[in-house]
């Protein structure tokens, strides 16, 4: 299953008038990061960055002056995000902004059935506890030393770690059957599967130990539970069947 953990930064809080200025995304395949990412800064046509938003992400109008418009990056954005389940923290905020941008260029909105919000997931798992991205990183001992400001790609990378913990932890990467070719876009290599050993390991018990155990079990009577695990019936039961 392909998933994109993503985040956006915007010029302000109202999607009807404010604009997306940064998108970051991290690809997961069966909950395992593939190393593929998406990151772009976007020039907000006719809109300035609100000072309160600048305090959060530090992205200035001057920095965005030479960046592409959303219409110019829409195809590559859709190519990376299409067909995947989309994971975001407080997803309604990001989805509203992305849908507003898509609407402006005549594209259909994102299917809400593809969106997973990690904020209610965290609140269900840890009732009454703080559920910000920083708080969750602290809870799961995820390093946030690079995060002095919000940034779409960095926050996506941090959220990917948080999401994996919320759905069961890093042991999700320890599956015994991993498809590395044919099952994901751009994958290479062959399927790796774990099955029975071609040659069984030698028994750890000696023949004398096995004989001693059988002799002991025979003293316990035909109702002894051990007869369920031996390859022959209890002596009393065998005699009854013969008679």
DSSP letters spanning 41-56: E---TT-PPPHHHHHH
* Residues annotated catalytic, as ranges: 150
Q: Among residues 125, 155, 174, which one ends one of the domains?
A: 174
Return per-residue pLDDT of the chain as tens, 243 residues: 999 999 999 999 999 999 999 999 999 999 999 999 999 999 999 899 999 999 999 999 999 999 999 999 999 999 999 999 999 999 999 999 999 999 999 999 999 999 999 999 999 999 999 999 999 999 999 998 888 778 899 999 999 999 999 998 765 444 444 444 444 444 444 444 556 667 777 777 788 888 888 888 888 877 777 777 775 545 555 444 444
Residue 219 sits in the same domain as residue 161:
no
Residue 193 maps to a domain: no
Does some domain include residue 152?
Answer: yes
Please tell me the number of Cα atoms within 13 Å of 30 on its side-chain side: 13
Q: Would you say residue 184 lies in a domain?
A: no
> Are 166 and 228 in the same domain?
no
| 43 shares a domain with 117 | yes
- 183 lies in some domain: no
Same domain, 49 and 139: yes
Please check whether residue 198 lies inside any domain of the structure.
no
What's CA 39's distance to the chain center, in Å?
A: 19
- The reply to whether 39 and 149 lie within a common domain is yes
Cα distances from 209 to residues 187, 218, 225, in angstroms, run: 51, 14, 19
- Provide the whole-model pTM: 0.69
Write down which residue in 132, 156, 174 finishes a domain.
174
Does a structural domain hold residue 179?
no
User: Is the domain of 159 the same as that of 57?
Assistant: yes
Q: Could you tell me if 32 and 119 lie in one domain?
A: yes
Assigned domain for 196 exists: no
Range of the domain at 110: 2-174
200 located within any domain: no
Q: Indicate whether 235 and 147 sit together in one domain.
A: no
End position of a domain, from candidates 174, 198, 228: 174
Give the tokens for residue 49: 């960055």
Q: Are residues 112 and 217 in the same domain?
A: no
């Amino acid at each position: 299953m392909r998933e994109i953990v993503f985040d956006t930064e915007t010029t302000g809080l109202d999607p009807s008038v404010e604009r997306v200025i940064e998108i970051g995304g991290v690809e997961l395949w069966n909950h395992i990061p593939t190393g593929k990412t998406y990151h772009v800064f976007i020039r907000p046509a006719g809109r300035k960055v609100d000072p309160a938003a600048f305090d959060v992400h530090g992205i200035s109008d001057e920095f965005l002056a030479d960046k592409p418009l959303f219409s110019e990056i829409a195809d590559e954005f859709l190519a990376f995000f299409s067909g995947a389940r989309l994971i975001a923290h407080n997803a309604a905020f990001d989805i509203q902004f992305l849908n507003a941008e898509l609407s402006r260029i005549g594209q259909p909105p994102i299917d809400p059935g593809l969106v997973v919000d990690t904020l209610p997931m965290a609140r269900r798992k840890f009732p009454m506890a703080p559920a910000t991205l920083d708080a969750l990183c602290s809870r799961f001992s995820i390093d946030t030393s690079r995060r002095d400001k919000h940034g779409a790609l960095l926050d996506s990378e941090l959220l990917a770690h948080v999401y994996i913990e919320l759905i069961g932890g890093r042991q999700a990467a320890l599956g015994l059957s991993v498809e590395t070719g044919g099952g994901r876009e751009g994958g290479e290599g062959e399927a790796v599967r774990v099955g029975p050993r071609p040659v069984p390991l030698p028994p750890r018990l000696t023949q004398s130990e096995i004989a001693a155990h059988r002799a002991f079990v025979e003293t316990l009577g035909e109702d002894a539970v051990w007869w369920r695990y031996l390859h022959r019936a209890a002596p009393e039961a065998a005699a009854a069947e013969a008679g």
